Structure 1
Amino acid sequence: MSWTCLTLQTDRDHAELWSDALSAQGALAVTLSSQATGAEEVPVFGEPGCPEMPLWPHCQIEVLLPMDWDASSWLKQVSTSLDQPVPPHRSEIVADQDWVRLTQSQFDPIPAAPGLWIVPTWHEPPDPSALNLRLDPGQAFGTGSHPTTRLCLEWLTAHPPRMQRVLDYGCGSGILTIAAGLLGTTQPIGVDIDPIAVQTACDNAALNGVSASFYEPDSFPNFPPSMG
């Protein structure tokens, strides 16, 4: 199976307007990014509770469509619904690929902290003598690449929680809970509001041979203070 990919050029004032309209008109996928590349590219983050960052001055919208659609006519239909001219764009064919293998190729082992590697299951550990935490990217947050995760992993390796209980609230993939377990905690516990994250964390802990407990907030037990 192949698809048609349209790449539209627009500005920050119209980017979200077009993105929403393209999605509403049945696009299979819509991706908004900066036209800048390399050193000129500036990331835009959206964090809860933080001031909203403006989009890039010059934006690029990639739209994935079924091959049997008349892409030009469809794009004109969207522009009519917006009462906007069709922006500059190009069209190309996206051939089917082994998407799993392609996705895996984007994730290499990460040296997360001194003596600690995050290693996807399709890779061999670069340093077998190190502490190797096996983790595959998935639906839950936490692959070891985010700066906040890396800082926590660095702190844990510098201060191993041996003979201590560790509570990872908002555990995502369970990466910090599992790292704490590998580093000697007696009772690694993770909590997340997302049931998919809880199940993912359980699976990841089992993959690493770590006996950890994961809960949604409403099912979190009332542990006695002396339990350790």
Structure 2
Amino acid sequence: MAWIQIRINSTNQQAEKLSDYLDEIGAVSVTFMDSQDTPIFEPLPGETRLWGNTDVIALFDAETDMQRIVRALQQAGHLDEQSAYKIEQIEDKDWEREWMDNFHPMQFGRRLWICPSWREIPDPDAVNVMLDPGLAFGTGTHPTTALCLEWLDGLDLEGKTVIDFGCGSGILAIAALKLGAKSAVGIDIDPQAILASKNNAEQNGVADRLQLFLSQNKPADLQADVVVANILAGPLKELYPVISRLVKPQGVLGLSGILETQAPSVCEAYEQTFALDEVKVREEWSRITGKLK
């Protein structure tokens, strides 16, 4: 199917309203793109963080009368004489196939591979986790997930128990189980994450060793030898009392989802009860690990 898009240069104050209006007048999808290549980082609670100068890109069926769309935007006050916009035809492609072609098996550490189901396994003798991108966060492509996977690969997990706090797709818990952990628990606030983790565990043959809980339903006495939490710096600091209590005596902790500039404040919270290792950094993101004192 052919498509046409309109790209409108907007501001962080107006982009959300513009997006809502484009949905109302028939846009198939609306996305934001930073027009100054400024990275988007951690939002404040309840905040939708945009950029100082934001391009709003709306996709329409190619048969749409785009002049009618422009007139509607002008009449609604979203375009004026100073507004910059561009209308572009989009090449008709099999986007799903193109996306699949660009998702490859990835190696983490010495033993661990994350492989999409439609690709051939590069090393049948390695520890292979079969995982397809889906609605829940976590496929290994983000530096924070990669840092956590490499840390797990470097641990002796044989016979250990593991908690994946903020499990998302379940990738860390599943990887730990396939690396030798006796059992694992995944915890998340999102029911979609619990479902995705369950499905991915079944695909990898480890569902019988993985328990999943919404955060509010986790057992009060829950603890494990290894706890990993790949969320964000703010929640990690706020949830220090909760996360630290999950670690058994002599257990180890791995934290990520933390920008390099945020690592000192997270370390300050956790060094009260953990002997921390040197912070590991990759592409502006960091991983904090340590052992319970």
Q: How far apart, in 1, do the equivalents of 2:169 and 2:41 lie?
A: 21
For the residue of structure 1 that corresponds to 2:144, the secondary structure is helix
**How many angstroms does 1:17 deviate by?**
4.7
Q: How far apart, in 2, do the equivalents of 1:32 and 1:183 lie?
A: 39
Q: How many residues align?
A: 221
1:73-96 Cα deviation digits (max 9, x unpaired): 222211221264163333233355
1:65-119 Cα deviation digits (max 9, x unpaired): 2334311122221122126416333323335543321221232222233322211
What does residue 65 of structure 1 align with? Answer: 60
- Aligned-partner residue type, residue 217 of structure 1: S
Contact 1:35 1:60 in 2 (8 A): yes
Taking the TM superposition and a 5 Å limit, the aligned residue runs for 1:1-228 are 1-10=1-10, 14-35=14-35, 41-49=37-45, 55-57=51-53, 59-82=54-77, 84-85=79-80, 87-94=83-90, 96-210=92-206, 211-221=209-219
Higher relative contact order (CA 8 A, sep 6+): 1
Q: 1:131 to 1:19 in 2, by over 3 A?
A: same
- Aligned-partner residue type, residue 99 of structure 1: W
Q: How far apart, in 1, do the equivalents of 2:76 and 2:184 lie?
A: 54
**How many angstroms does 1:44 deviate by?**
1.8
1:170-210 Cα deviation digits (max 9, x unpaired): 11100010011012111111122222211211111122222
- Aligned-partner residue type, residue 30 of structure 1: V
Q: How far apart, in 1, do the equivalents of 2:214 and 2:47 lie?
A: 29
Contact 1:160 1:180 in 2 (8 A): no
Contact 2:188 2:194 in 1 (8 A): yes
What is the aligned-residue identity percentage?
Answer: 35
- Aligned-partner residue type, residue 82 of structure 1: G
Q: 1:117 to 1:48 in 2, by over 3 A?
A: farther
What does residue 241 of structure 2 align with? Answer: none
For the residue of structure 1 that corresponds to 2:185, the secondary structure is strand
Contact 1:9 1:89 in 2 (8 A): yes
1:97-153 Cα deviation digits (max 9, x unpaired): 433212212322222333222111111123333222111000011111222222211
Q: 1:75 to 1:113 in 2, by over 3 A?
A: farther
TM-score (norm 2): 0.65
Q: 1:185 to 1:83 in 2, by over 3 A?
A: closer
For the residue of structure 2 that corresponds to 1:141, the secondary structure is coil
Contact 2:194 2:213 in 1 (8 A): yes
**Structure 1: 5+ residue stretches without partners:** none
**Structure 2: 5+ residue stretches without partners:** 225-293
Q: How far apart, in 2, do the equivalents of 1:45 and 1:24 lie?
A: 29
Q: 1:131 to 1:28 in 2, by over 3 A?
A: same
Q: How far apart, in 1, do the equivalents of 2:65 and 2:195 lie?
A: 42
**Comparing 167-176 and 20-29, the one that deviates more:** 20-29
